[in-house]
A = this chain, B = another copy of it.
Amino acid sequence: MKLSRLFTKTEKETPKDETSVNAQLLEQAGFVYKNNSGIYTYLPLGWRTLNKINAIIREEMNALGATELLMPTLVNKRYWEASERWDVDVMYKLKDETGHEFGLGWTHEEVITEIAKRYVQSYKDLPFSAYQIQSKFRNEARAKSGILRGREFLMKDLYSFHRDEADLQRFYQDVLNSYLKVFQRLGLDAYVTEASGGAFTKEYTHEFQVLSEAGEDTIFYCEKCRYSQNKEITNLPQGGKCPKCDGTINVGKSIEVGNIFRLGTRFSKAFNLNFVDEKGESKPIVMGSYGIGPSRVMGTLAEVFHDKSGLLWPESVAPFKVYLIALDGAAKEAAKIYQRLWDHGVEVLYDDRDDKGAGEKFADADLIGLPIRVIVSSKTLKEKSVEVKRRGKPGMELVPVKDIGKTLEK
């Protein structure tokens, strides 16, 4: 894509009304636009990155055997009353003129449980799992962490349905492994962290925590065996010995990028969601619920991968792989290279602005943070080469123009 088509621009100054690093960088680089506190537009660059994050999540959810659907944002009061969650503080509520009341979906256990009731009757219909990726809404009292804690944010929510706790446990473990794979592909080093099961289960539940000073959580963790507990529940000794290995327990602030819950029969009982087993006995279905926030993931990536010049996207989620710059009259050759790279399946953002100098283009390339910068200049074209530089790595290399497609297609 040509830069001119994006229509957004980088900004010279850090936005004044943002206090979090992720929002400062993402706004300055033209990935997001703040409409209100906690409410953002995902601009073309940000939307491309979010779609890459979503695509990775979808692949791994589908590999679990889950199927995708889309539930409504307008969730009628009757759903929340059935589960006794109508009075949840963070829910945005509205009433229409005919008196119908809705809560804006911040989670969908209630809706999916009612839907399952229509289709699931027998043990033969179990297990199954379904997920969606959707804007969710939470009326956060404070929304100062940029897109780490938005009032409107993207969520992937997966729900699973089982005949008994043992089958839930099997799937729960599958999801845990699937999530580790998701975060690994996203370039994030996530600790599987024990946390309180809250109202749903007496057992621990698991959070996926990424170490970052921007985080609102604190985890106690062992770097060696990766055992980890949330501060809220832990008795682990800071600086002491790990109970699982001979490592040492560290403490750090962290961002919760995912969580998995054993819901048990909390919702199936509220909605009378039962199944008939082989003996003809009716039993409540056992459920699980599993979340990843793609927009929070994008914010986490910005927090974890940046330097003083700007963002440094992992290749798997970069909006484009290559930032292409033409210098001093090399525009014609650059346009050819642009086309050649796309022909090789390399996603290129071409800085085609003719009223900007080299310094400004280099600064924007660093700020936007694509993995590879390619510079086409008359100087290196004399050697039939272009300059290739990896973002955040020292040095550069000259690559012959004729090899540029093959070299960068990976």
CA distance A10 to B165 in the complex (A): 29
Q: A1 — which chain B residues lie within 8 A by C-beta?
A: 67
Q: How far is the CA of A372 from the CA of B144 in the complex (A)?
A: 54
Interface residues on A, range: 35 or more
Q: Which residues of B contact A35 (CB under 8 A)?
A: 71-72, 75-76, 111, 114
Query: What number of copies of this chain does the assembly contain?
Result: 2
Pairwise interchain contact B70-A128, C-beta atoms closer than 8 A: no
For window 1-48 of A, CB contacts with B under 8 Å fall at: 1, 4-9, 30, 33, 35-36, 39-44, 46-47
Q: Specify which chain B residues have a CB less than 8 angstroms from the CB of A50 in the assembled complex.
A: 70
A92 beta carbon closer than 8 Å to chain B: yes
Q: Does A212 contact B (CB under 8 A)?
A: no
B72 adjacent to A41 (CB under 8 Å)? yes
Contact between B119 and A151, CB atoms less than 8 A apart:
no
Q: A327 interface residue, CB < 8 Å from B? A: no
A111 to B42 Cα, complex, angstroms: 12
Instruction: Kindly state whether residue A251 has any CB partner on chain B within 8 Å.
Output: no
A96, B91: Cα distance in complex, Å: 9
The CA-CA distance from A6 to B69 in the complex, in Å, is 10
B151 touches A74 (CB 8 A): yes
Q: Are B68 and A47 in contact (CB under 8 A)?
A: yes
Given contacts A7-B128, A111-B41, A118-B33, contact A70 B94 (CB under 8 A): no
Residues of B within 8 A of A72 (CB): 35-36, 39-41, 135, 152
Contacts of A236 in B (CB 8 A): none
How far is B3's CA from A252's CA once the two chains are assembled, in angstroms?
46
CB closest chain-B residue, reference A154: B70
Closest chain B CB from A116 CB (angstroms): 7
Q: Which residues of B contact A137 (CB under 8 A)?
A: 73-74
Chain B: which residue is nearest A2 at the CB level? B65
Residue of B nearest to A128 (CB): B7
Give A221-258 as 1s and 0s: 1 = Cβ < 8 Å from B's Cβ atoms.
Answer: 00000000000000000000000000000000000000
Is A355 on the interface with B (CB-CB < 8 A)?
yes
> Given A6-B67, A97-B139, A130-B7, do A33 and B73 touch, yes or no (CB 8 Å)?
no
Query: Is A93 positioned at the interface, with any CB of B under 8 Å from its CB?
Result: yes
Contact A33 B115 (CB under 8 A): yes
* In contact, B97 and A69 (Cβ under 8 angstroms): no
Provide the bound-state CA to CA distance between A111 and B128, in Å: 40
Q: Which of B6, B70, B118, B152 has a CB less than 8 Å from the CB of A74?
A: B152
Question: Are A8 and B41 in contact, with the CB atoms below 8 A?
Answer: no
Q: Mark A83-117, 1 if CB is under 8 A from B, else 0.
A: 00000000011101100100010000001001110
In the docked arrangement, what's the CA distance between A65 and B134, Å? 26
* Complex contact B76–A36 (CB within 8 A): yes
- Cα-based distance from A43 to B41 in the complex (angstroms): 27
Q: Contacts A5-B65, A33-B115, A115-B33 given: A41-B71 contact, CB under 8 Å? A: yes
Interface-centre pick from A69, A96, A124, A130 (highest chain B CB count, 10 A) = A69
Report the separation of the CA atoms of residues A21 and B311 in the bound assembly, to the nearest whole angstrom.
Answer: 52
Residue of B nearest to A67 (CB): B44
A120 an interface residue at 8 Å Cβ cutoff? yes
Report the separation of the CA atoms of residues A92 and B97 in the bound assembly, to the nearest whole angstrom. Answer: 9
Can you add 7 more A-B contacts, CB < 8 Å, to A7-B130, A41-B115, A43-B69? Answer: A7-B125, A30-B119, A36-B72, A40-B72, A46-B69, A94-B94, A135-B135
Q: Which 10 A-B pairs have the closest CB atoms?
A: A7-B128, A94-B94, A42-B70, A44-B67, A41-B71, A39-B72, A47-B69, A9-B119, A36-B76, A8-B119
